[in-house]
Amino acid sequence: MQRDGLSPVALIVHPDGGARATIRRSLRSAGFQAVAVDTFDAARHLLELEPVDVLVTEARLGDFHGLHLVLLARSGNPAVFAAVLTAERDDVLERDVERAGGVLLVGDHVEAIMAHIERMSLPPAGGGNVQ
């Protein structure tokens, strides 16, 4: 992914193509450079290449967990906004996500994501383009 240097970068990780597309569309319309992937490995690879400003990840990603991606994203950008998505409330997961500096979003994800982002002021995590 190449940064344009102006727009904050969002990474969406979700195994469901419809959910990925909906979240990506919403973030792009809000001015984000949004990249969407369907697997933990693809997300990990991108996060190892460059920091992101926003991470939106499904909680359960096959054998892996979105919480691991939150930790990786925060190592590249401690100010990253990280949202972990889940269909059902889980108090233990919520505490773990909050300890990692993220938020757990239950239910209607797109509206909740955009509500959190609207309250934020996000400068790009890195300057210039990544080669």
Tens digit of each residue's pLDDT (9 = 90 or more) over 1-29:
656 667 899 999 999 999 999 999 989 98
Decide: pTM greater than 0.75. yes
Cβ-based burial of 40 (10 A; exposed 0-12, middle 13-18, buried ≥19): buried
How far, in Å, CA of 27 to CA of 32, rounded?
A: 5
pLDDT value of position 97: 95
Domain contains 84: yes
60 occurs within a structural domain: no
- State residue 3's pLDDT score: 61
In a domain, 123, yes or no: no
Give the 3-state secondary structure of residue 2. coil
For the chain, where are the alpha helices, taking DSSP H only?
A: 17-29, 40-49, 66-76, 91-99, 109-118
What is the block-wise mean pLDDT of the chain (131 residues), using blocks of 10 residues? Answer: 75 94 91 95 96 95 95 95 93 95 85 77 45 28
What is d(CA 14, CA 130) in angstroms, rounded to the nearest whole number? Answer: 24
Number of domains in the chain: 1
Structural domain harbouring 80: 9-54+69-97
Amino acid at 26: S
CA 79, CA 41: separation in Å to the nearest integer?
22
Would residue 4 count as lying in a domain?
no
